[in-house]
Structure 1
């Protein structure tokens, strides 16, 4: 029992992942000066072990190795051992993950890296079984004692590699280039070569939801009228919503599917996935009016509010994959358990959710999933649609009651700024599309929580727990929060949110921007210096912080008529264009920015007492290349786009403008929509 063991230095940390290791017999240190100085003073190699609270194999390695006294003795004798929560310290994780890849090791977590006392890496790997781990520890210790100069030489070479600029590494050079229709179509084509046209998604298993890929495809279809793109979005979103990766009972998505059919998830649920998928399904609903997407948005917000929202208004980070040490136990059922719960309705329930006596998962367990729509199922089983839907709702309530008595998966209750920003934008997007005031109330509560607890002056913090914010924020925190505040402004017309977005952007320009290369560093110049200062270029499950900043600069340049912002956004996009054409799946958020520059972004200003109502009418239509500005009075604003715009004759007026040229003022959403659609049919491709 942990209570019988002596705690290590992690006991005073706030990260649940670090606290999970606080009673290991390993003499763990958190990342920081104390551990690094100890390594120098004692001339010992450093072991940095990186993971996160919802990581299944991190738990396995802890139980098999880090909890074992004899293995801990070896670690403590020969190494200074440091535990890192990658979610709190993505800067540390990025440096040493890059080192692993330079060593030819496929990255993943747990990540175990060996460093010399200068914090320069010379060897590493991911998960190791106990015997292999002990053998590796002994070999590293012996090599450090007998071949120190060779290890230091290797470490120096890796450190040099880490300090090669990302722009140099990938040949990203600024060029004079044109925004071209053909280039955008080439991006779409190159992305399409990776489509799984049977089950959706990209490529083979494992499959991760990659929201920015599908947001790009929605916009690609909107611009080109290429329904191949929309069909792939619909296939992917439908298969995900029907699959085991989606919690059919409680809502919300798991992190990824281990198979190609979205059936068997890795059961952890992450805030960053669910926030972005809410935004994606909301936008897809706006483009298609598919009721399934509506249901996914409502159910996923319900899950996040119920299981990840703090009493203060912040959102927690994740739920573990395991409960009682078994992956997926909380979510799966045997056929006998279902029979006991559902009684006479069990055969229909099991047909609907594809549960069998043999099970579709481990040990006779069933992952509940669907394959067809409610309309098709009702027709096949000679049921009225309304009757089926009432039964499904009753089944869900029954399962939720049973779950309430089960041991819940572990909760990672730290609050991270960038992940909260993704959820804040999701709630704002959902309110924009569906007009549900509860979504806006949640968004405003979260936004005010962030300002009160994670911002001090102009500076942000990364993390919050129990009244403490201790880690300086990274570029992704500034970028994603600014993006969320821009969206919150568009759905409230409260100018404070747009001003907050501008302040965050200006702080990033002052403290993160590399004027030599024209891109942003991931870390604040005022924060701790690591052995390398990285730039995040490639869009992953979460878009790259540089692509988000470039997009923010585009929009803020329009709002504030700031040519400097616009020019910088253009220059950043220019640097990645060659690679973007070849690898759009790795730069899909950059490609969406390219979409915004293909034709002038519409500037729609609504002035007058009915501004919120007219905004709501416009939001019924899919208009992805538009910014919204609004005021009920038109007075006292510092936004240049509101200057000289008034409610004509006291009647709410809409001004539709492109490239600082406005159409005739109109008074109805229908008239504004006609102006917007007329302009979309006249693309312009300006040179940058």
Structure 2
């Protein structure tokens, strides 16, 4: 850090790495807080809100071109209250102004730049803007605000009304849930978009959509649908083979800019990797495919090596950009290889490595840089070189170890070291799924340590959760996605640890959500708590994207918890939510795949499997390593339990397995194979 900075603004008081990146801009940035918002009202000034995040490439470009420029800063400081927002810390603000931008321009993205009235109602927005255009548009809008304020106010009023309307759910009187014949038709129509050769959709860029794949994996499994199975397998294989997966250090980048999953946008996000650990673990359970297992193992290694804090929380992301040898910040510089460099490092093994990872026209990116990508069966390569598949694997593993050692000497990408509750929940769920299906005890240990961190550091005094943790402090109250992800992860942790405390935490947090986030009309939950100061809208987040929506995760949580705690009537609330959502799901299933997955679970038979007695642990392990998306587990060796599913079921000197459906149980059995027969 330089000894003296020419400029320092109020962001220097913040802990977010993204906000701190802007603390020495000549722009008089403020963080989003009550004092700043009040100042805008007192001075009757327009607010300029600029939203981004630490791993956002174009955010850095705009900072360099505009916000570091003194001429730009002069314009911004003279007329506006300038607020910088880290969208990862404050998704509540981002939701609203991203909706506004999409209404104004038809598209969105970051950096997200919005101008609002002093009360926060938006009237103009754009993403990346060049310096000259930026100064020009700011001056024009300021002039209009002085000379014809009614024009701007009128537009802002319409916009505020529109923002409320596009986020409303029409509660239909139809109380029917989605039926299996409707689900089959939805999947059939959806499959027209599938790229069956390279996976994903028939387009670029390609985003990994774990929620879509989980929904389709379950559908293929329950319907014995080989066509859908093949599509899921193709997608997961191509993603794991692609440049989007870091073959040297593990972990996935955010998305691929091409159709073959080759060249990624190189930032690595905790949420992607947490969700993908779950997905590949599920797929391994369903198929026993070793590629899926090794993808899980390498991705967890990446989380441990690069994102795990000493407090056992996980950091948010690694930047796409890093410094080259010449000190220039370039996207992907840390990850790419040149042919001559590979030859020098790998020596005699280069020829095999070259073929395996396509150091040829298929793997070439730009400027003599290669992004490692697989495109063929390892067995064919082994046979061509007269070695066994096992020997090939050993050679490739040795090569990757050498490359990792070499890569560690490069300048590393910048780290966003804030810890977010929701994303830790997704990583924790990934770890519980990985332990369940791969049976590596280290994953359970990691999961328990992370869960303990959430309890100790992210819990608020009122029984709720905080959003963030940095420098030993939490400063933002939790949003719905924080609760939803943690509740889901704790349910998963109960199922692999059999410790009631995680299930009890899940129920307690769910009751907190019901008390403070409920929209009484639809049964859905607002993104922000009733305890927090109001923005211009309380958002209902329902669309599933790369991350499933907070409401769909909560609906899955209600579904499972209603089986564990039937007397709490959570199923009544769930049914209200699902009928409210029915038309939204059926009209746009691609953007509601986590909801569609839940509709499948609610339409099919759903089982509670209970193992009770001294020998419950090995029995549960045998049962749970099967892919059983329509089963929840409860287990204990205690003679008495407060958990409804375990009450009055203990029999001395026996370990019994009860298979139940809606609380109605078949005769208990003692062998896991017989229990599996009862649900097939």
TM over 0.5: yes
Distance in 2 between residues matched to 1:25 and 1:116, nearest whole Å: 23
What SS does the corresponding residue of 1:362 show, helix, strand or coil? coil
State the SS of the aligned residue for 1:216: helix
Q: 1:587 aligns with which of 586, 592, 609?
A: 592
**Match runs of 1:243-282 below 5 Å:** 243-282=242-281
Q: Distance in 2 between matches of 1:178 and 1:357?
A: 51
Partner residue in 2 for 1:493: 498
DSSP-derived class of the 1:514 partner = coil
The aligned residue for residue 364 of structure 1 is 368
Query: Aligned pair in 2 of structure 1 residues 579, 517: CA closer, same or farther (>3 Å)?
Result: closer
Alpha-carbon shift at residue 136 of structure 1 (Å)? 1.6
Shift of 1:344: 2.5
Task: Name the structure 1 match of 2:297.
Answer: 298
Provide the rounded CA distance (Å) in 2 between the counterparts of 1:528 and 1:244. Answer: 44
Q: Please identify, of 339-348 and 294-303, the stretch whose mean Cα deviation from structure 2 is larger.
A: 339-348
Instruction: Return the alpha-carbon distance in structure 2 between the equivalents of residues 288 and 547 of structure 1.
Output: 26
The separation in 2 between residues aligned to 1:67 and 1:634, in whole angstroms, is 67
> Aligned ranges for residues 326-405 of structure 1 at < 5 Å?
326-356=330-360, 360-405=364-409
**Counterpart residue number, 1:184:** 183
Matched residues in 1 for 2:387 and 2:75: separation? 65
Distance 2:459 2:469 in 1: 11
Q: Secondary structure at the match of 1:605?
A: strand
Deviation for aligned residue 1:362? 2.4
CA gap 1:358/1:211 in 2 versus in 1, 3 angstroms: closer
Is structure 2 residue 668 aligned with structure 1 residue 669?
A: no
Maintained 8 Å contact 1:29/1:83 = yes
Which whole-Å deviations, capped at 9, do the CAs of 1:187-222 have from their partners, x for residues lacking one?
211221210112100231111111010000111012
Partner residue in 1 for 2:22: 21
What is the CA-CA distance between 1:165 and the residue it aligns to?
6.2
CA contact (8 A) 1:550 1:572 kept: yes
CA contact (8 A) 2:257 2:265 kept: yes
Query: What is the deviation of 1:350?
Result: 1.7
* More displaced stretch, 86-95 vs 567-576: 567-576
Compared CA separation, residues 379 and 122, structure 1 to 2 (3 A) = same
- Determine which of 435, 444, 457 is the counterpart of 2:448: 444
- State the shift of 1:634 in Å: 3.7
Q: What does residue 152 of structure 1 align with?
A: 153
Instruction: State the aligned residue count.
Output: 673
d(CA) in 2 for partners of 1:603 and 1:263?
A: 42
List per-residue Cα deviations over 1:387-429 (Å, max 9, x = no partner).
1111111111111111111000000000000000000000000
Residue 314 of structure 2: aligned partner: 315
Aligned pairs for 1:463-482 within 5 A: 463-482=468-487
Q: For residues 549 and 279 of structure 1, what CA distance do their matches in structure 2 show?
A: 17
Structure 1 residue 179 displacement after superposition: 4.2
User: 1:112/1:165 Cα in 2 relative to 1: closer, same or farther (>3 Å)?
Assistant: closer
CA distance 1:167–1:119, change in 2 (3 Å):
closer
Residue of structure 2 equivalent to 1:50 = 51
**What are the superposed Cα offsets for residues 117-139 of structure 1, whole Å, 9 maximum, x if unpaired?**
01110000101122221222222
**Residue 563 of structure 1: how far off its partner (Å):** 5.8
Q: Is the 2:177–2:582 Cα contact (8 Å) retained in structure 1? A: no
Greater alpha carbon shift after TM alignment, 441-450 vs 187-196: 187-196
Instruction: Give 1:382 shift.
Output: 2.2
Aligned to 1:655: 658
Tell me the alpha carbon deviations over residues 366-386 of structure 1, each in whole angstroms, 9 at most, x when there is no partner.
101111232232123322112
Report 1:404-483 matches (<5 A).
404-457=408-461, 458-483=463-488
For 1:80 and 1:230, locate their aligned partners in 2 and report how far apart those are by CA, in whole Å.
53
Deviations 1:150-192 (A, max 9, x none): 0011111111112226334xx4525221442201212211221
Q: 2:513 aligns with which of 508, 512, 518?
A: 508
Q: TM-score, normalised by structure 1?
A: 0.96
Kept in 1: contact 2:322–2:412 (CA 8 A): yes
| Residue 577 (structure 1) aligned with residue 582 (structure 2) | yes
Which is further off, 191-200 or 494-503?
191-200
Question: Deviations 1:63-94 (Å, cap 9, x if unpaired)?
Answer: 11111111111111111110000000000000
Deviations 1:310-343 (A, max 9, x none): 0110000000000021000000011111122112
Report the equivalent of 1:167: 168
The answer for the alignment partner of 1:102 in structure 2 is 103
Contact 1:550 1:569 in 2 (8 A): yes
**Contact 1:186–1:581 (CA under 8 A) maintained in structure 2:** no
For 1:68, the equivalent position in structure 2 comes to: 69
- Change in 2 beyond 3 A, CA 1:179/1:634: farther
- Tell whether the 8 Å contact from 1:357 to 1:364 is kept in structure 2 after alignment: no
- The SS at the match of 1:154 is helix
Q: State how far apart, in whole Å, the 2-side matches of 1:419 and 1:4 are.
A: 34
Normalised TM-score (structure 2): 0.97
- Shift of residue 353 of structure 1? 1.1
- Contact 2:315-2:419 within 8 A present in 1 as well: yes
Distance 1:291 1:448, change over 3 A: same
Q: What per-residue deviation string (whole Å, max 9, x for no partner) do you get for residues 210-259 of structure 1?
A: 10100001110122111111111100000000101000111100000111
CA RMSD of aligned residues (A): 1.4
Query: 1:490–1:629: 8 Å Cα contact kept in structure 2?
Result: yes
- Is 1:536 the counterpart of 2:541? The answer is yes
CA contact (8 A) 2:609 2:658 kept: yes
Output the CA distance in 1 between the equivalents of 2:639 and 2:578: 34
**What SS class does the counterpart of residue 367 from structure 2 fall into?**
helix
Please give the alpha-carbon distance, in whole angstroms, between the structure 2 residues aligned to 1:562 and 1:191.
Answer: 38
In structure 1, the residue matched to 2:326 is none
Moved more, 243-252 or 591-600: 591-600
User: Residue 147 of structure 1: CA displacement?
Assistant: 2.0
CA contact (8 A) 2:522 2:580 kept: no
Greater mean deviation of Cα atoms: 147-156 or 268-277: 147-156
- State the SS of the aligned residue for 2:622: helix
Q: Whole-Å Cα distance in 1 between the matches of residues 644 and 337 of structure 2?
A: 58
Deviation of 1:4 after TM superposition, in Å, equals 2.6
